[in-house]
């Protein structure tokens, strides 16, 4: 599990150390709409440059 939540010395479990922390969770009602989750993830990673990235953008 740590491989997915830790990158470059940052870990999701350390989020309380940051005053400006945010975790965004999105769910879709229909399985056919899952592509929107990937689109949001890609947008947020390029727009906000998070410390821990999903790593799905080439």
Give the per-residue pLDDT at 18. Answer: 84
Does residue 23 fall inside a structural domain? yes
Does residue 40 fall inside a structural domain? yes
**pLDDT at 19 exceeding the cut of 70:** yes
Helix (H) or strand (E) holding 6: strand 6-7
Does residue 53 fall inside a structural domain? no
Residue 46 pLDDT level (bands cut at 50, 70, 90): very high
Helix (H) or strand (E) holding 11: strand 10-11
Which residue, chain included where needed, has tokens 């947008």? 43
Does residue 36 fall inside a structural domain? yes
**pLDDT at 41 exceeding the cut of 60:** yes
Distance CA 38, CA 42 (A): 6
**pLDDT at 56 exceeding the cut of 90:** no
Does residue 16 fall inside a structural domain? yes
**pLDDT at 31 exceeding the cut of 90:** yes
Distance CA 26, CA 18 (A): 22
The tally of domains found in the chain comes to: 1
Q: Which domain holds residue 24?
A: 2-48
Residue 1 pLDDT level (bands cut at 50, 70, 90): very low
Does residue 56 fall inside a structural domain? no
Does residue 10 fall inside a structural domain? yes
Does residue 41 fall inside a structural domain? yes
3-state SS assignment for residue 5: helix
Contact 45, 54 (CB under 8 A): yes
């Amino acid at each position: 599990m740590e491989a997915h939540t830790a990158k470059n010395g940052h870990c999701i479990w350390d989020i309380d150390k940051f005053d400006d922390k945010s975790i965004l969770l999105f769910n879709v009602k229909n399985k056919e709409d899952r592509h929107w989750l990937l689109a949001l993830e890609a947008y947020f990673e390029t727009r906000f440059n998070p410390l821990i990235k999903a790593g799905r953008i080439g």
